[in-house]
Amino acid sequence: MNAPSIQFAQVLTVLVAAPGVSGVIARVESRLQGRRGTRVLQPYYDLGKLFRKEALAPHGASWVFLAAPLGAMACYLTVPLLIPVLTTFPLPLGYMGDILGGGFILSLASFAVAVAAAETGAPYAQLGASRAKTFSAITEPVVLFVVFTVALVTGTDLPYALAETVRSSAEQIVRPAHLLAAAALFLVILAETGRIPVETHTGTNEFGMIEEARPFEHSGPYFAMLRWGSAMKQLILFVILINVFIAPWGLASSAGVGAVALAIAALLGKCVVLGVVIAVIDNSFAKLRLFKITEFVAAAFLLAVLAVFTLYFGGG
């Protein structure tokens, strides 16, 4: 396989596998709660049903309302070009942006969805958009500290170079600063994917909703793209944590078809394991109240700050 085709395979893997990973997590959660639950492939059926439905827009909504799902999907499809999804070697667009740039692209997608929700005038959608932006102002500094810490440890903030540094020696993984930064990023992923501290990723009409409230006014294909994009965001965060921070193994070191196929299988296996761990955590703790989110994210921020202090003062 040539480099462009592998790069296309990275994007296609994230695009196709994202709903399946969400289906596995939902199935595990159902079993942990003593329910039969839905099929693993249910997210694909839901997306197919939504794409066949009619798309409606609230009265008075501008073109931004309909453009936001397309813009968000474009952002989610761009990030896999920058991170090591399948290969250990950088692809043609792999050095187009660093890990901080990938975070900005994910934030842009969230901003587009929030703007579309805010202009509908619907109370639930506006409430979800307001809460999402309020709490993202707390989580984004944590991500910045994580990136800076790992950049100080490894000497670079390029995702492929970060993964290569971690993969070079087991000592890189067990360094205190690296472990603290990875733990902080894991807490951010729990909050960003709606697992902890408030509500679940399949929330209902409750005042504690955040992520699920924003697309309330979308329907048909546009709602399908938002649901699909949310699953892609979850998988992208999983890939960053696994293939850059804690387990950058199983990636293809050559451009052979067999090596790429094994890399896809390894990625899906690692993401499913991480999803099961998150599902167990999600069902092992009671949900926190809304105002407790700041305390939860503050713990992640403290871990990131401790990582920097450990690096400079503790030989981390």
Establish if 304 belongs to a structural domain: no
Q: What pLDDT, on a 0 to 100 scale, did the predictor assign at position 70?
A: 92
Nearest Cα to Cα of residue 205 among 123, 142, 148: 123
- What letters, b where the CB count within 10 A reaches 16 and e where it falls short, cover 60-82? ebeeebeebbebbbebbbbbbbb
Q: What pLDDT, on a 0 to 100 scale, did the predictor assign at position 287?
A: 67
Establish if 178 belongs to a structural domain: no
Q: What pLDDT, on a 0 to 100 scale, did the predictor assign at position 265?
A: 93
Q: What pLDDT, on a 0 to 100 scale, did the predictor assign at position 30?
A: 85
Q: What pLDDT, on a 0 to 100 scale, did the predictor assign at position 218?
A: 81
Establish if 97 belongs to a structural domain: yes
Nearest Cα to Cα of residue 82 among 19, 18, 158, 174: 158
Distance between CA atoms of 308 and 152, rounded to whole angstroms? Answer: 8
Residue 140: what residue type?
E
The overall longest dimension of the chain from CA atoms, in Å, is 60
Q: What is residue 154's three-state secondary structure?
A: helix
pTM greater than 0.85: yes
Q: What pLDDT, on a 0 to 100 scale, did the predictor assign at position 196?
A: 65
> In which domain, by residue range, is 82 found?
3-140+159-164+208-289
Rounded to 5 degrees, what angle do the CA atoms 225, 102, 139 make? Answer: 85
> Which residues contact residue 243 at a Cβ distance below 8 angstroms, ignoring those fewer than 6 apart?
83, 84, 85, 163, 251, 267, 270
Two structure tokens written together for 250: 């199983």
**DSSP string across 1-26:** --HHHHHHHHHHHHHHHHHHHHHHHH
Give the distance, in angstroms, between the CA of residue 197 and the centroid of all CA atoms in the same chain. 16
Give the distance, in angstroms, between the CA of residue 25 and the centroid of all CA atoms in the same chain. 14
The count of residues in the chain is 316
The tens-digit pLDDT sequence of the chain (316 residues) is: 788 898 899 999 999 999 999 999 888 888 888 888 788 899 999 999 999 988 887 777 788 888 889 999 999 999 998 888 888 887 887 777 777 788 788 888 888 888 888 777 777 777 777 777 777 777 777 777 777 777 776 677 778 877 787 777 767 777 787 788 888 888 888 877 777 655 555 555 455 566 676 777 788 898 899 889 989 998 999 998 898 888 888 888 888 888 899 999 999 999 999 989 888 887 777 666 666 777 778 888 888 888 878 877 765 4
How many domains is the chain partitioned into structurally? 1
Establish if 26 belongs to a structural domain: yes
Q: What pLDDT, on a 0 to 100 scale, did the predictor assign at position 312?
A: 75
